[in-house]
Structure 1
Amino acid sequence: MACTKPVKVKTPEGTEKELVPKKVWALSPKGRKGVKIGLFQDPGSGKYFRAKVPDDYPECS
């Protein structure tokens, strides 16, 4: 399932943009509540970066 909903994130260059993640997965330590991480691509430089996405965002690949 592809990700479709844009998320407001801070790019590595320091600007805030609304981007659609390439992939979202849960990252959680053993026995504790985790967070959801998204893989994004910066449209300016083309570099990939990870950022936290809201907990209600569906996991996708």
Structure 2
Amino acid sequence: MLLSSLDDPFAPAADLGPVSPAVHLQVEAHGGHMGYLSDRPTPLGNRRWLDYAVDHYLERLG
């Protein structure tokens, strides 16, 4: 899983180019550079939804 955002100032999503079919690319509108914060706690108990997104994605694979 590769997570990016349209407002990332260091690694813009437009610069990612094509990814391998084995990689899931998720591009969000906001997030900045490692700033994936939720307005409320996720089911994992914190506001960083990146951890939850990865956990959720892995559960769907398994």
Same fold (TM over 0.5): no
The structure in which a higher percent of residues are strand is 1
Query: With structure 1 as the length reference, what TM-score do the two structures score?
Result: 0.22
Which of the pair has more CA radius of gyration?
2
TM-score (norm 2): 0.22
**Larger RCO of the pair (alpha carbons < 8 Å, separation 6+):** 1
Higher helix fraction: Structure 1 or Structure 2?
A: 2
